[in-house]
């Protein structure tokens, strides 16, 4: 029908051939002139594809097999707090710049204070970072064996960084209590 297709597309006769192809491209993906983060397998029979159905928005007859993410080691220089449009406080790790998969990573979101506790993260820690989905910077692990004793615990602020209103805790989320502060209104 004239559609352009990838010259590396291949019909696999079973799952073992799919995994063999996945292993091949995980080792050789750097030889491509474009970046990939995995392979997608699709059932090559329209009737079987439709019969398999959909879960949410994902067709059951199409599966993505991701490669292991690239990783690097760096240091957490500081942890800052960003305030989102809904007033939610999000801790962000300020990292010693490090290249991961051709991209320099300087920051990684920590999502919420529970994630800091789960990781056991302190300011000054040596950490392993990766790019989730080969895109989003993420701290995978704290290398506690590399601690020197100079690391500092991080504490979420008790006052909103935008207007000094008290911070309220709602489950895993810390929020500014003032519902009409300027940053929220300016972004609306």
Query: 113 and 25 in one domain?
Result: no
Residue 131: which pLDDT band, with cuts at 50, 70 and 90? Answer: confident
Q: Which residues 6+ apart lie within 8 Å of 27 measured at CB?
A: none
Quote the number of domains for the chain. 2
Report d(CA 172, CA 156) in Å as an integer.
12
Write the pLDDT tens digit of every residue in 9-26.
Answer: 999 999 999 999 999 999
Both 78 and 166 in one domain: the answer is: yes
Per-residue pLDDT of 61-73, as tens digits, reads 999 998 888 889 9
Is 97 domain-assigned? yes
115: CB partners within 8 A, 6+ apart? 91
Share the mean pLDDT of the chain. Answer: 90
Query: Same domain for 152 and 85?
Result: yes
Number of H helices, E strands in the chain: 4, 11
In a shared domain, residues 48 and 75 = no
Mean pLDDT of 127-156: 91
Domain boundary among 6, 34, 66: 66
- Where does a domain end: 50, 66, 82? 66
Query: Structure pTM?
Result: 0.69
- Confidence at residue 101, expressed as pLDDT on a 0 to 100 scale: 77
* Structural domain range at position 113: 71-187
Kindly state the greatest CA–CA separation across the chain: 65
Residue 9 within a domain: no
Check residue 133 and give its pLDDT.
64
């Amino acid at each position: 029908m004239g559609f352009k297709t990838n010259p590396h597309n291949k019909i696999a006769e079973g799952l073992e051939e799919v995994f063999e192809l996945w292993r091949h491209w995980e080792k050789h993906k750097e030889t491509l002139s474009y970046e990939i983060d995995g392979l997608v397998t699709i059932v090559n029979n329209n009737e079987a594809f439709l019969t398999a159905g959909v879960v949410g928005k994902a067709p059951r007859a199409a599966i993505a097999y991701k490669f292991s993410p690239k990783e690097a080691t760096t240091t957490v220089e500081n942890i800052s707090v960003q305030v989102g449009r809904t007033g939610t406080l999000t801790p962000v790790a300020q990292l010693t710049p490090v290249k991961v998969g051709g991209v320099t990573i300087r920051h990684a979101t920590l999502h919420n204070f529970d994630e800091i506790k789960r990781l056991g993260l302190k300011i000054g820690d040596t950490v392993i970072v990766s790019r989730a989905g080969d895109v989003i910077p993420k701290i995978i692990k704290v290398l506690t064996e590399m601690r020197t004793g100079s690391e500092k615990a991080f504490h979420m602020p008790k006052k909103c960084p935008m207007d000094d209103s008290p911070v309220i805790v709602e489950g895993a989320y810390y929020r500014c209590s003032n519902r009409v502060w300027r940053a929220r209104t300016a972004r609306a």
